[in-house]
Amino acid sequence: MKLLCAAIVMLLATLATAGAFDDANFCVAAQQLAIAGDKDVGIWIDRQTRNAGTAVACDRKLVEFTRFTYISSASMTDVWKAAKAADWNAAQCSSPIWKEAIGNGWTVALHLATADGGRATFKAQCR
Give the pLDDT of the chain (127 residues) as one tens digit per residue.
554 544 555 555 555 555 688 999 999 999 999 999 888 898 998 899 999 999 999 999 999 999 999 999 999 999 999 999 999 999 999 999 999 999 999 999 999 999 999 999 999 999 8
Q: What is the largest CA-CA distance in the chain?
A: 46
Instruction: Quote the number of domains for the chain.
Output: 1
Q: What is the pTM of this model?
A: 0.82
What's the rounded Cα separation, in Å, for the pair 15 and 26? 7
**Which CATH number goes with the domain that contains 39?**
3.30.300.250
The residue range of the domain holding 83 is 2-123
What's the rounded Cα separation, in Å, for the pair 57 and 55? 7
What's the rounded Cα separation, in Å, for the pair 54 and 121? 14
What's the rounded Cα separation, in Å, for the pair 10 and 79? 36
